Amino acid sequence: MAKKQTLLSKIEEHQKKHPDARFIAIYEGAFVTTLYGNNIVEAIKDFNKCYNASLTVTCDMVTQKVYQAIENDKPDVRGYYNHSHFDIMTKECVFNEDELTRPIVKIKPTKLTKTHTDGYIDRDGNFYKCGFEGHKALAKELELSKTIHEKTDSEKYLYDENLLDERGWVKISSSRINYLEYKESGSIAKLSDAQKTLVLEYFDMLDKLKIEFNHHKIDRERLVKELYD
């Protein structure tokens, strides 16, 4: 009972500071915030878009209803345990966060352009784009969706970007081009002909005198030498 009183006092204190707030919530069991939306479902969705955290209790200050978040018994298709939100009086589930889970689909390669400057080039010269600093998320998605083949026994300790590096993929990040020259096994990595062709096409597309290639600035002549010598 003492815990409920503590949560209630947190909400009441927040309401004094934010009298116009309709939805006031406790998250991670201790922190208070205002949620935004025309109804409880919109408010929960808004929270999930802005926070990487879990709601505990949400109060609708207009209807005087209180909603409790309870972790689901089963994971979603991505293996995450989300929460369902229940009206504490009626025990009705008003929203299951599993509905926010993105479906798992195979990722299709796209065309490398000036506006798509972040992503990976696989050994066949296919480009998979991502957002700025989104390489780790892309690498996870490639494996989760089985766009790439499953790990071998020798790769079982490799995760995310390290797996793609070890497989000889080329990383492009805001006009910087890099790949793992020395594998975990100690062997020297060489780009495939398809990767070399696309790297050169990309250099020409950027129309720059120099670009960063494996952490040092080089011009086109030096790039050709690096690729083909």
**Residue 213 is inside which H or E element, if any?**
strand 210-213
Pick from 31, 59, 35, 65: nearest CA to 47: 35
Task: Write the DSSP symbol of residue 38.
Answer: S
Last residue of a domain, one of 100, 126, 157: 100
Range picked from 71-75, 189-193, 208-212 for highest mean pLDDT: 71-75
In angstroms, rounded to a whole number, what is the distance separating the alpha carbons of residues 218 and 45?
47
- Close Cβ partners of 163 (under 8 Å, ≥ 6 residues apart): 139, 143, 151, 155
Residues 160 and 218 in one domain: yes
pLDDT in tens, 97-150: 999 999 999 999 999 888 878 999 999 999 999 988 899 999 999 999 999 999
Residues 162 and 82 in one domain: no
Residues 84 and 156 in one domain: no
Residues 133 and 41 in one domain: no
Asked whether residue 143 is assigned to any structural domain, the reply reads: yes
Share of the chain above pLDDT 70, in %: 96
Structural domain that includes position 9: 2-100
pLDDT of residue 113: 87
* pLDDT-based confidence at residue 2 (cuts at 50, 70, 90): very low
Asked whether residue 147 is assigned to any structural domain, the reply reads: yes
Asked whether residue 112 is assigned to any structural domain, the reply reads: no
